[in-house]
Amino acid sequence: MAKNKPEKVLDEPGLKMFVYLSRILDRAVTNAAGRSVGKLTDLKVRMGELFPKMSSVVVKPRRKKKPLELDWAQVDSVTGSRIVLRPGAEEHFHALQVGSDELLLREELLDKQVVDTFGAKIERVNDIHLLVVNQDLHIVHVDFGLRGLIRRLGWLKAVDAFTGFFFSFRIKEKLISWKHIQPLVSDLRNQDLKLNVAGSNIRDLHPSELADILEDLDRGNRDRLFKSLDVETAAETLEEVDPRLQVRLLEAAPAESASDILEEMAPDEATDLLFDLPEEQKQNLIRTMEKPSRDALVELLRHKEGTAGSLMTKDYISLDSEQTIGQAVEEFRKTTYPLDSVAYIYVTDKERRLLGVSTLRHLIICDKSTPVAEFMNPRLITVEPDQDIEDVVKLFKKYKFMALPVVDRDDRLQGIITLKDIIQETLED
């Protein structure tokens, strides 16, 4: 590259420092003397930075079948029509190797599907946008748009002239920054997804968005993407996924993670999932779970499907009548898992019999030393574990609560059913 002058590249007027991959692929690669040594078939990048730079060029020498790799340091300049190498570069050709943190732009990214974490969907890569900075070529954007397709065909000038003349219109680019892109390509050896660690993560997506993405992917990419999620995200995502897919995803997950994921899931969701698993797998998973979660699950599994008991969760806050508001706040602080019903605090006696319910509002406005029982509402609507879900739905419709407590015949609190669960239940088609 000529000293500090930004390299003159392209066809695109005004964007002299940018280059599209499609414009330089298959161009002639010449040595310092000007003789062609082959053509550029690919570029390799090492992931890790926000906008990683090319680490090697891949050249297919003339009259040879296999492409060879050359370190980027051997490249002198890249222009729209050719790539010029430094003197003596030809000695440094070696066989192509791709590490688990390296990506080949044409082979593994161009024309393939990727996850766009900005738009929360899957897109197909039409072209790749690179930036020349000093001596390096960085990947900055991925092109998803129609313009990219037209550019690949080589018709951009013609189409621009046409639309400009007849409609005073120029088809816009659709470029998404590399930091939002997670490629769906795996390392050949361990079959794990090559993660774009510096970029905004898959983790930033809402679980429902991730669930949609997983449902749209083909089996291979889907299993790999799911495997790459941490346990917490995997659990949240699994809760949002279509039931049939839930089973398949869990089966694809490595054995050690499967029980961890189940533990992390909301107990009622986990029970639903376990219901659908083949008997042997179900027993295996329950066995490998940790005791507290396992006990909760086994208990829930006892209830028949279609009853209130199968829908309830044990994630709620309850205190006995002698405890204070201050202690309730402490309980809140201690819960690290997401509580679906933050609205209510249940008040019980020493035998766990339900006495009343207090709300979040009381926690905020009452004095810390006030007993929880003082402002609680003793008039409670409850359901029993054996009651039909239809009855529960009717109660929710009538009273519009955020959650309903489930008690046994002796009024002992067994669990709660949240509005979220009812929505899922009634909106399931």
Partner 1 sequence: MSVFSAVKQNPRVRSFLLFLAILGPGIITGSVDNDAGGITTYSVAGAVYGNKLLWTLIPSFLLLVVVQEMNARMGIVTGKGLADLIRESFGVKVTLFIFIGLVAANIGNTATEFAGVAGSLMIFGVSKYISVPLVAVAVWLLVTKRDYKTTERIFLFFSFCLLSYIISAALAKPDWREIGRAIIRPEMHFDTGYLSMVLGIVGTTVAPWMQFYMQSAVIEKRIKIQDYKFALWDVIIGCTATVVVAFFIMVACAATLNKNGLVINEAKDAALALKPFAGAFAAQLFAFGLFIASVFSATILPLATAFFVCEAFGFEAGINKKIQEAPQFYALFAFIMTVSVLIILAPGAPLIAITIWTQVLNAMLLPVVLTSMIRMVNNRKIMGERVNNKFQNAVGWTGTIVLVGLTAMLLLNQLLSALKR
Nearer to partner 1, 215 or 391 (CB): 215
Task: Spell out a b/e string for 281-294, using b for 16 or more CB atoms within 10 Å of the CB, else e.
Answer: eeeebbeebeeebb
Nearer to partner 1, 152 or 314 (CB): 152
Q: Write the CB contacts of 136 (distance below 8 Å, at least 6 apart in sequence).
A: 53, 54, 72
Nearer to partner 1, 192 or 391 (CB): 192
Among 123, 99, 88, 105, residue whose Cα is nearest residue 26? 105
Q: Could you tell me whether strands 82-85 and 28-30 are parallel, antiparallel, or unpaired per DSSP bridges?
A: parallel
Task: Give the span between the Cα atoms of 177 and 196, in whole angstroms.
Answer: 12
Among 52, 72, 204, residue whose Cα is nearest residue 140? 52
In the complex, minimum distance from the CB of residue 143 to partner 1, in angstroms, rounded to a whole number: 11
The token pair at 188 is 């050949």
**Alpha-carbon torsion (141, 146, 147, 149), positive or negative:** positive
Residue 408 host element (H or E): none
Task: Give the span between the Cα atoms of 298 and 287, in whole angstroms.
Answer: 10
In the complex, minimum distance from the CB of residue 22 to partner 1, in angstroms, rounded to a whole number: 9
Task: Give the span between the Cα atoms of 189 and 369, in whole angstroms.
Answer: 61
In the complex, minimum distance from the CB of residue 190 to partner 1, in angstroms, rounded to a whole number: 15
Are the CB atoms for 204 and 118 separated by under 8 Å? no
Nearer to partner 1, 111 or 192 (CB): 111
In the complex, minimum distance from the CB of residue 267 to partner 1, in angstroms, rounded to a whole number: 26
How many other CB atoms are there within 10 angstroms of residue 399's CB atom?
9
Nearer to partner 1, 85 or 247 (CB): 247
**Helix, strand or coil, per DSSP, at residue 403:** strand
Task: Give the span between the Cα atoms of 78 and 181, in whole angstroms.
Answer: 25
The token pair at 197 is 């660690």
Nearer to partner 1, 130 or 357 (CB): 130
In the complex, minimum distance from the CB of residue 218 to partner 1, in angstroms, rounded to a whole number: 4
In the complex, minimum distance from the CB of residue 13 to partner 1, in angstroms, rounded to a whole number: 23
In the complex, minimum distance from the CB of residue 219 to partner 1, in angstroms, rounded to a whole number: 4
Tell me the longest C-alpha to C-alpha distance in the chain.
93
Task: Give the span between the Cα atoms of 70 and 86, in whole angstroms.
Answer: 11
In the complex, minimum distance from the CB of residue 222 to partner 1, in angstroms, rounded to a whole number: 8
Residues that bind partner 1 (CB under 8 A): 110-113, 123-124, 126, 144, 149, 152-153, 218-220, 222, 248
In the complex, minimum distance from the CB of residue 141 to partner 1, in angstroms, rounded to a whole number: 16
Nearer to partner 1, 188 or 255 (CB): 188
Nearer to partner 1, 248 or 352 (CB): 248
Are the CB atoms for 389 and 397 separated by under 8 Å? no
Nearer to partner 1, 367 or 428 (CB): 428
In the complex, minimum distance from the CB of residue 70 to partner 1, in angstroms, rounded to a whole number: 22
DSSP labels, 304-323: PTTBHHHH-BS---EEETT-
Nearer to partner 1, 23 or 222 (CB): 222
